Structure 1
Amino acid sequence: MLPIAFRSLLVFLFDLFAAFVAWVGGFLLRFNFEWPVGYVNQILFGLPLLLVVHTVACRWAGLYRGMWVFASLPDLKRVLKAVAVSALALLIVAQLVPPNFSVPRSLFLLYPLLLLLFMGGGRAAWRMWKEHRLYGGLIAQGKPVVLVGAGSRAASLVRELERSPDWKVVALVDDNRNKWGRELGGHPVVGSLDSLPTVLEEFKARHIILAMPSAAPEVRRRVTQLAVHSGAQVFVLPEVDDLMSGRVAISQMRPVEIEDLLGRDPVHIDTAHVSTMLNGRTVLVTGAGGSIGSELCHQLVRFAPSQVVLVETSEFALYVIEQWFTQHRPDIRIVALAGDVKDAHRMDEIFTLYRPQVVFHAAAYKHVPLMEVGNAWQAVRNNVGGTLVVARCAQKYEAERFVLISTDKAVNPTNVMGATKRLAEMVCEAFHVCKGPTRFGMVRFGNVLGSTGSVIPKFQEQIQRGGPVTVTHPDITRYFMSIPEAAQLVLQAASMGQGGEVYVLDMGYPVKIVDLARNMIRLSGYDEEQIRIEFTGLRPGEKLYEELLADCEQTGPTPHTKLRIARSREVPPDFLLELTTWLDNESGASDEAVRTGLLRWVPEYTPRIADAAIQDAPAKTAHVAGVL
């Protein structure tokens, strides 16, 4: 490879040669390629002057900073600058010479045009030759792929794919009718998204790339539906914010995942309001190593708290979240503390030392079947007793806000876990009634994608093992939202609350779990003959459907479209005293005794131990076939 200085010298000599050809060529064109005998002196006199001016112009325009193999629009702009200066110099010189020494007026047009043609064309020709030599042999290789979208991202992607031996672009589809029948990078735009099955068959392609990083979830679902039913695999690009300088790289593509299909529109929160709540404050997060707790930590550090106190009972989970801060946010002061929310002495010690002003209580037992049989009293101790302990400390040490992370399973609960979370909500409502210094709020939402123990990681593991994929019931439905979305809305709700509110997140539409399983199988490249679905029956305490509001509750709007306030029934006056007595007096209560106690506090609780008495879901969800 030639040294950089030598290559720059060659480019400089080429530009001088271009000026010579443009000057002499202009005269030849003017006189129909006959040697202009009467203008020899003008040619010889003007050439040295133009070469000197052209040298200065090229240096001033920065022509020797770019690489010809990547010649593009910025390089063309530099060429135009150099040509303009050279042409201006010619015009000035022509005004200064005697009339008998003037050049033909047509040279004022021919010279810059020829100069631009040689300088710009030479660079473009070099890039074309170089790319053909490097990548030309790859164009006919690789797997045939259809691009969805024919915009600027697709144009960048086409250029990248042409340099890859793994892919061969055969066609593009776009819903914009004005693009049909046209070409992008030499590849035809053949029709709409709905024509994908036909296009895949016509071009013998089994791969699709969604070249629309900001495509709405509905578009991703639509494309993937068409693809999986055609036996094709879909790849997606990262979000626009993740693309570096607008350039798409092959390595940034990934296969479409089930989260892309269940994903929702991006959440926009009032960052100024949230910043007012968190900026410069000491924030304590219980369950900081869990799915929601850790994402809350990730999100809240954007608002520059003075200190984040991480409380977690799992040593490994605490280590993981501590390492995340060390690697990603070393500027944030953290305190990683092992502690159990049921341990009143430990919680009192933590609050005494760190005096948190904002508390997010995410620690809880959440697995419905596990808490239903053999662990019911532990669910009460952790979910209710732990909330009581932390809430009491928050009020005692005058925290400004206390936010309980609740669940849709607290609505008309049929299981111990849901009933304990409703009881935890009531604890916070009772503390609010006490009119202390702390604002107590609750945020209720459904399943989050990819959380520990959730259905999606379970299905992925079963598919990797070769099946079967186990679904409890063919009609079971659930609400889903992403963990970042849930965490952001929790922060928004916390900043809005005046105390005592139960916030309900907009969970969208319920998804049929069997449809979720089918699509995950297809996205993995299998069909239901290769990976079968097996129905195992509802587990103890499990519902066919989940609700976000209890029958006795009504909702009110908030300034945020994805948040509503649920107005629940009032908590009895002596609730906290009686609940504390129950928690203190019981010791290892049986599952039946726990259910009896929960029925006393949560009258809407309807225990369901087995799946024998399954009732049909209400009309509002029974017709839902899922969003997939």
Structure 2
Amino acid sequence: MKYKIKALSLLFSDILIINASLILAYFLRLDYIFTNPNYEIFVNEIPKLVLIVSVVKIGTFIAFKLYNSLWKYAGVYELSRIILASLVSNSFMMGYVFLTRTPIPRSIFIITFFIDCFFISAIRLGYRLFRRYFRGDILLVKSTKRVMLIGAGDAGAALINEYNMHPELKSTPVAIIDDNLGKQNKKLSGVPVLGTRDDIVRVAEDKMIDEIVITMPSASPKTINEIYTICSKTKCKVKILPSLSQLIDETVSVQKIRDVNIEDLLGRDAIKLDNNEIGGLIKDNVVLVTGGGGSIGSELCRQIATFSPSRLIILDNYENNAYDIQNELLANYPNLKLNTIIANVREKGRLESIFRTYRPDIVFHAAAHKHVPLMEANPTEAIKNNVFGTLNVVECADKYKSKRFVMISTDKAVNPTNIMGATKRVAEMIIQAFAKQSKTEFVAVRFGNVLGSNGSVIPLFKKQIEQGGPVTVTHPDIIRYFMTIPEAVQLVLQAGAMAEGGEIFVLDMGEPVKIYDLARNLIKLSGFEPDVDIKIEFTGLRPGEKLYEELLLAEEGVQATKNDKIYVAQPLHSDMAILMREIECLKEIMIKNADEVIDYMKVIVPNYKQSS
């Protein structure tokens, strides 16, 4: 009802304006009207024209939906509609005068066009100004957040306009930073560009900035990291507009501004993938993912689903995770043939039944125990899952003639100092041994830590911060390689598509990150000051933990591939007969004297050096 009253009020004001415009145009065009002996001819036409003009122009305005807009947000689009509606209606009136031979100059409607545009626009934009001035919206500026934008591009301009249209957000852009020297001392939508990244701290202080928004959706993660590092030296809250890859519809709005997260700082440039090659691996094939409910496994399922497999099989022994990814995939891919199987890779008979029933063409083996401290305390469980579980899946893939088998490995398999890494190294040896004699192409993909995976350091730090600290770091110099889960899975799929059998693919993990720096950044991103609001404590290296991880054994070497993020380690072939005898001995030792399994694992993996 309130909206209808406003629309009717606007309609009546338009009727007054367009008729006043007509009379004003008469006087401007016929300034001699009252001294002209034929003035009565012109004046007598006005009442009839008033009626016709009202009907024609209001009808045109309705057709152009001038009464459907939210005029408190009036801008360029609304102005263009007014101009177009006025042009059409006045053109129609000129045609009417010409066809009916009405005795008035047709140029009157050229004049009324300009008068209409001016006054009709003025009353609408005036309404917007009225709301801001007389309702006190502009006066609120003094009590709003003072915002500095980083980036004087299209995204920055769009956000400034958004802020201006939403005074209820109580945020006022007062400064812009941009490294383009040609933009310095210019204005973007009325907001001055006051310096480059080197001036961020100074401008933030001079302009009393409360909040910084990084508006650089096309910038590389490296640039975002550098900018954030500088912004963190101020006392301002730092937010970010997501990257173009995250802006699904590529539109910019205030609602899409969010807090900076650790993925923004540790992410890297977009990966170049050969989707045709990956599609050739997946499309129309039956694909099995073991550990399909886990962090890596579930993302594998998501990305595999996009390449149209003939069937996707999720295998996991934890029903909740499997249930969640199943429901997500069914919602997003209603035509996907999907089977979710609750099973344990340790149970050979169960795996045999699954392989016999579904005959998977491609197997991604992501099921594993991976938590280093837990496995140090439970070494036999690590061996059961990572060694014998892998052997079970490998033997089934070989027996039922799967085309390709891709195992997810880890940098901890290189010169292992913990039982988890040692078991993954044995799993790699199994892969390479079978690759020599099987028609199935067996490969492994080795990478480091993934951001946000279950049990990784980042969720732990976040939980500690939520609890008020302290944040615990094992050693001030400990470093790790990090990769996002989607990035890791993309490279796994690409490596799997490139495989010929027997390779261990090594992913480029980028630059290593100091865990201490990671902890400090997470504390700052949470709005706290490290060692002031939230303490950081060093607890000492845990059992089996290294200061740094390696991606290659010394004797493996490395070869480049056509993808600059993927390398191939030189294969170290394992003798199948010897390896199988060693695994059988390991099984017997686990049954008879579990305390000796660590010593025997050092026999199978000679470079396994248990940390003190």
Structure 1 length-normalised TM? 0.87
Q: Which residue of 1 aligns with 2:19?
A: 20
**1:521 paired residue number:** 523
Q: Which one of the candidate residues 340, 343, 348 is aligned to 1:344? A: 348
Distance change (3 Å), C-alpha of 1:284 and 1:43: farther
**1:116 maps to 2:120:** no
**Does 36-45 or 499-508 show the bigger shift?**
36-45
Could you list the per-position Cα deviations for residues 260-295 of structure 1 after superposition, in whole angstroms to 9, with x for gaps in the alignment? 211112334222332332233322111122211122
Q: CA deviation at 1:395?
A: 1.5
Amino acid at match of 1:153: A
Tell me whether 400-409 or 118-127 shows the greater mean CA deviation.
118-127
Aligned match of 2:89 in 86, 89, 112? 86
Shift of 1:404: 0.2
Q: Out of 567, 578, 581, which is 1:578 matched to?
A: 581
SS in 2 for 1:440: strand
The alignment partner of 1:587 has SS state of helix
Output the amino acid matched with 2:406: V
* Partner SS, residue 213 of structure 2: strand
Deviation, 1:165, is 4.5
SS of residue in 1 equivalent to 2:232: helix
1:591, 1:167 → 2: CA distance?
65
Distance 2:346 2:58 in 1: 80
Change (3 A) 1:44 1:74: farther
Deviates more, 1:64-73 or 1:227-236: 64-73
State yes or no: 1:29 paired with 2:53: no
Q: Mapping of 1:215-364 within 5 angstroms? A: 215-240=219-244, 243=247, 248-325=252-329, 328-364=332-368
Moved more, 88-97 or 444-453: 88-97
Q: Deviation of residue 407 (structure 1)?
A: 0.8
Which residue of structure 2 lines up, in the alignment, with residue 208 of structure 1? 212
Deviating more after overlay: 337-346 vs 152-161? 152-161
State the distance in 2 between where 1:61 and 1:33 align: 36
Judge conservation of contact 1:542–1:608 (CA < 8 Å) in 2: no
Q: CA deviation at 1:337?
A: 2.2
> Aligned residue for 2:459?
457
User: Which of these residues, 47, 57, 71, is aligned with residue 68 of structure 1?
Assistant: 71
| RMSD (CA atoms) | 2.9
* Maintained 8 Å contact 2:586/2:600: no
Mark the CA change 1:130 to 1:529 in structure 2 (over 3 Å): closer, same or farther.
Answer: closer
Larger mean Cα displacement after TM superposition, 217-226 or 478-487:
217-226
Kept in 2, the 8 Å contact 1:503–1:566? The answer is yes
Report the alpha carbon displacement of residue 422 of structure 1 after superposing the two structures with TM: 1.8
Bigger mean CA deviation after superposition, 469-478 or 231-240: 231-240
Give the aligned partner of residue 505 of structure 2: 503
| Structure 1 SS opposite 2:45 | helix
Moved more, 60-69 or 447-456: 60-69
SS of 1:146's equivalent in the other structure is strand
What SS does the aligned partner of 1:303 have?
A: coil
**Structure 2 residues not aligned, in runs of 5+:** none
1:192-241, Cα deviation, whole Å (9 max, x unpaired): 22211112211223421222333321232122212222233211233445
Partner SS for 1:498: coil
Distance 1:421 1:382, change over 3 A: same
- Residue 544 of structure 2 aligns to a residue whose secondary structure is coil
**Quick one: distance in 2 between partners of 1:270 and 1:428?**
25
Alignment CA distance shift 1:40-1:388 (3 Å): farther
* Percent identical: 40
SS of 1:140's partner is helix
Change (3 A) 1:33 1:196: farther
Q: Deviations over 1:425-454 (max 9, x none)?
A: 121112211132x22221111100111221
Q: In structure 2, do the counterparts of structure 1 residues 388 and 124 end up closer, same or farther at CA, with 3 Å as the change threshold? A: same
Is 1:397 the counterpart of 2:403? The answer is no
Farther-moved stretch of structure 1 (463-472 vs 589-598): 589-598
Contact 1:258/1:520 (<8 A) preserved: yes
CA contact 2:72–2:127 (8 Å) conserved in 1? yes
Shift of 1:464: 2.7
Matched, 1:383 2:382: no
Structure 1: which 5+ residue stretches go unaligned? 611-628
**Alpha-carbon spacing, 1:56–1:250, altered in 2? closer, same or farther (3 Å):** closer
Superposed CA offset, 1:498-538 (max 9, x none): 22222111111011111112222233312324433322222
Q: 1:126 to 1:601 in 2, by over 3 A?
A: same
1:2-27 deviation digits (Å, cap 9, x = unpaired): 353x5444444444433323332223
Q: After TM superposition, give the deviation of residue 121 of structure 1 in Å.
A: 2.7
Whole-Å separation in 2 of the counterparts to 1:172 and 1:327: 42
CA contact (8 A) 2:141 2:170 kept: no
Q: Which residue pairs with 2:2 in the alignment?
A: 2
Distance 1:86 1:165, change over 3 A: closer
* SS class of match (1:463): helix
Give secondary structure in 1 for the equivalent of 2:558.
Answer: strand
Structure 1 stretch displaced more, 478-487 or 451-460: 451-460
**1: CA distance between counterparts of 2:465 and 2:8?**
60
The code of the aligned residue for 1:189 comes to V
User: After the TM superposition, which residues 382-461 of structure 1 pair with which residues of structure 2 at under 5 Å, given as runs?
Assistant: 382-436=385-439, 438-461=440-463
Is 2:191 the counterpart of 1:187?
yes
Aligned counterparts of 1:36 and 1:591: Cα–Cα separation in 2? 119
Indicate if the aligned counterparts of 1:477 and 1:544 stay in contact, CA closer than 8 A: yes
CA spacing shift, 1:284–1:515, aligned 2, 3 Å:
same
Instruction: For residues 115-149 of structure 1, give each alpha carbon's deviation from its aligned partner in whole angstroms, at most 9, with x where no partner exists.
Output: 22122333222233235538435433233332222
The number of equivalent residue pairs is: 604
Compare 443-452 and 581-590 and name the one that shifted more: 581-590
Residue 471 of structure 2 aligns to which amino acid in structure 1?
V
SS of the equivalent of 2:568 reads: strand
Q: Which amino acid is the alignment partner of residue 216 of structure 1?
A: S
Give the TM-score normalised by the residue count of structure 2.
0.90
1:42 and 1:158 mapped to 2: Cα distance?
50
Q: Is the 8 A contact 2:434 2:576 kept in 1?
A: no
Amino acid at match of 1:461: K
- Indicate conservation of the 8 Å contact 2:288/2:360, yes or no: yes
Corresponding residue of 2:167: 163
TM-superposed deviation, 1:83: 2.4
Where 2:167 maps in the other structure, the secondary structure is: coil
Matched with 1:484 is: 486
Which moves more between the two structures, 158-167 or 455-464? Answer: 158-167
CA deviations 1:438-474 (Å, max 9, x no partner) are 2222111110011122111222222233333222222
Give the aligned residue type for 1:199: V
Deviations 1:300-319 (A, max 9, x none): 22223333222222233333
**Shift in CA distance, 411/19, structure 1 to aligned 2, threshold 3 Å:** same
Moved more, 587-596 or 79-88: 587-596
Structure 2 distance, partners of 1:147, 1:355, is 56
Does the 8 A contact of 2:415 with 2:609 survive in 1? no
* 2:64 alignment partner AA: A
- Provide the secondary structure at the position in 2 that maps to 1:340: coil
Give the match's secondary structure for 2:510: coil
